[in-house]
């Protein structure tokens, strides 16, 4: 018996679900900081080139693999090739997604604690030192972060068990427009601050001397992470596309919207940072210490922190849902389990992993894996190792081993659309992507002395 596979119900729903995956913490804290430190406007140009020349073709390839086979990320390679070995791409993607789930849900949980604190009014009147102290106190607390990560995973679970259309698509159609509105409101607020000019100059002023090979490779790595590539996600989402979905246009919309959100996040953050003369710090510190401290100095402090953390929570939740889905789809199809049981297996095991990851920042700090905390290890192994390897294998597999007629048939929706870009796509998959990804990989492992 073959069951009809679930599909997304509308064009906009298809795009928003994929954008929901792509837009996440990577856009809101990592991108603006990287841009600011690596040449501002010059970095932006390079980032755009990476996104369009390598990210976009790979996203189209993932969508192709999913929709052509209508299978989970492992099953897809079983259909595409008679050689069982290629399934490794799917296994790596799913393993990587699972590891990301382990640390991403920890950080997503933090945003909920900050929403609670902002709503309680406790943030006004705090000094910078108090924000820093409370942040460390909270993330190393033995049980508070655990409660929030359990809540985060429970919300993701409920969305996943409601199905592809009734859960993922519906949640994305609700959350993504809200995210855009909040982002715009915060941009306007930021642009009316006195430091707006300086902040925008930090973000956009091209400084070509800051463009080093390291900056280029970090832009490429950031493009992959931000577009959620190499994690089995876009393959799984592609398998829910209907027959009429235009794969190229969908990938282009997702790519551009994701980049737009990253740029707007910079427009939101840097004017505020410069107005208050604060050094733009990297990583979680920027969003969990610097920004709440800035908001606390504006009129209506609780309000700005509250909506900012709602923005972060929305962005990270839709990403978590998308990381959960490939794991659930695989387990459900491979072991023929009802979706809700498969989802429960994923939620329960990912929550256990996340609990360990969270504890590795505090109570169990002494325990290390290859010299890293579990939290850092999960980030390293997924984003720096499995993700580039998975994308590289996918590019090589599709570029060299897939009949171009199959690719053309799928991308043209059986001849209904023209695919003049096939030559370019094939060239990218065969040569450009493998070379570029090898470089990011070696760079990520620190082999260039960075
Ligand atoms: N793309 C998401 C972001 O920018 C992160 C992510 C990575 C989501 C991998 C899913 C898979 O934050």
pLDDT tens for each residue of 44-85: 999 999 999 999 999 999 999 999 999 999 999 999 999 999
Span 404-415, pLDDT tens digits: 999 999 999 999
Give the Cβ contact number of residue 128 at 10 Å.
Answer: 16
Q: What is the distance in A from the centroid of ligand 1 to the CA of 364?
A: 26
Residue nearest to atom 9 of ligand 1 (CA): 228
374 with 367: CB under 8 angstroms? yes
Closest atom, ligand 1, to C-alpha of 322: 10
Side-chain-side CA neighbours of residue 260 (13 Å): 11
**Residue 322, ligand 1, Cβ within 6 A:** yes
Q: How far is CA 436 from CA 20, 88, 222, 267, 393, in A?
A: 26, 21, 13, 29, 13
**Residue 98, ligand 1, Cβ within 6 A:** no
Distance, CA of 219 to CA of 34 (rounded, Å): 8
pLDDT > 90: what percent of the chain? 71
Q: Residue 413: CB partners within 8 Å, gap ≥ 6?
A: 243, 244, 245, 246
**Residue 266, ligand 1, Cβ within 6 A:** no
Q: Is the pLDDT of residue 249 over 50?
A: yes
Q: What is the distance in A from the centroid of ligand 1 to the CA of 129?
A: 31
Q: Is the pLDDT of residue 1 over 50?
A: no
Region 317-343: mean pLDDT is 96
- Least confident range from 11-25, 186-200, 273-287: namely 273-287
Give the Cβ contact number of residue 244 at 10 Å.
Answer: 9
Q: What is the distance in A from the centroid of ligand 1 to the CA of 269?
A: 20
**Residue 316, ligand 1, Cβ within 6 A:** no
Helix (H, G, I), strand (E, B) or coil at 207: coil
Nearest CA to 22 out of 68, 57, 65, 55 is that of 55
**Residue 235, ligand 1, Cβ within 6 A:** no
371 or 237, greater pLDDT:
237
Q: Is the pLDDT of residue 420 over 50?
A: yes
Nearest CA to 333 out of 72, 90, 1 is that of 72
Q: Is residue 322 packed enough to be buried (19+ CB in 10 Å), middle (13-18) or exposed (0-12)?
A: buried
| 8-state DSSP, 300 | S
Q: What is the CA radius of gyration of the chain?
A: 21
296 or 170, greater pLDDT:
170
pTM (two decimals) = 0.94
DSSP states of 366-403: T--BTTB-HHHHHHIIIIIIIHHHHHHHHHHIIIIIS-
Q: Which two tokens stand for residue 124?
A: 């006004």
Place of tokens 């949980």: 109
């Amino acid at each position: 018996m073959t069951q009809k596979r679930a599909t997304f119900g509308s064009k906009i729903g298809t795009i928003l679900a994929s954008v929901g995956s792509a837009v996440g913490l990577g856009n809101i804290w990592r991108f603006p900081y990287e841009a600011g430190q690596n040449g501002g406007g010059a970095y932006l140009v390079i980032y755009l080139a990476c996104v369009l020349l390598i990210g976009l073709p790979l996203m189209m390839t993932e969508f192709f693999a999913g929709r052509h086979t209508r299978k989970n990320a492992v099953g897809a390679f079983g259909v595409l090739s008679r050689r069982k070995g290629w399934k490794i791409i799917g296994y790596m993607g799913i393993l990587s997604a699972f590891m990301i789930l382990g640390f991403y849900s920890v950080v997503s949980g933090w945003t909920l604690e900050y929403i609670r604190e902002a709503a309680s009014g406790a943030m006004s009147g705090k000094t910078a030192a108090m924000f820093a102290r409370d942040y460390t106190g909270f993330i190393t607390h033995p049980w508070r972060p655990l409660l929030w990560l359990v809540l985060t995973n429970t919300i993701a679970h409920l969305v996943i068990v409601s199905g592809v259309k009734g859960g993922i698509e519906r949640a994305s159609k609700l959350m993504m427009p809200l995210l855009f509105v909040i982002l715009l409101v915060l941009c306007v607020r930021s642009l009316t601050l006195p430091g707006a000019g300086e902040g925008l100059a930090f973000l956009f002023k091209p400084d070509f001397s800051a463009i080093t090979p390291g900056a280029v490779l970090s832009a490429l790595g950031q493009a992959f992470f931000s577009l959620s590539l190499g994690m089995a996600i876009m393959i799984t989402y592609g398998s829910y596309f209907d027959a009429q979905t235009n794969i190229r246009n969908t990938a282009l919309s997702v790519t551009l919207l994701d980049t737009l959100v990253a740029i707007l996040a910079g427009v939101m953050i840097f004017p505020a940072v410069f107005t208050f003369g604060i050094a733009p710090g990297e990583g979680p510190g920027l969003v969990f210490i610097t920004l709440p401290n800035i908001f606390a100095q504006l009129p209506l402090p609780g309000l700005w922190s509250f909506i900012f953390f709602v923005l972060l929570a929305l962005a990270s939740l839709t990403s978590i849902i998308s990381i959960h889905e490939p794991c659930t789809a695989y387990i459900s199809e491979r072991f023929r389990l009802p979706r809700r049981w498969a989802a429960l297996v994923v939620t329960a095991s990912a929550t256990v992993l996340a609990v360990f990851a969270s504890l590795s920042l505090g109570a169990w700090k002494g325990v290390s894996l290859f010299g890293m905390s579990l939290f850092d290890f999960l980030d390293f192994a997924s984003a720096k190792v499995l993700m580039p390897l998975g994308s590289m294998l996918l590019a090589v597999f599709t570029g060299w081993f897939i009949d171009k007629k199959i690719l053309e048939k799928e991308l043209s929706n059986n001849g209904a659309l023209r695919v003049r870009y096939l030559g370019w796509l094939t060239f990218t998959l065969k040569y450009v992507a493998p070379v570029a990804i090898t470089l990011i990989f070696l760079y990520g492992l620190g082999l260039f002395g960075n």
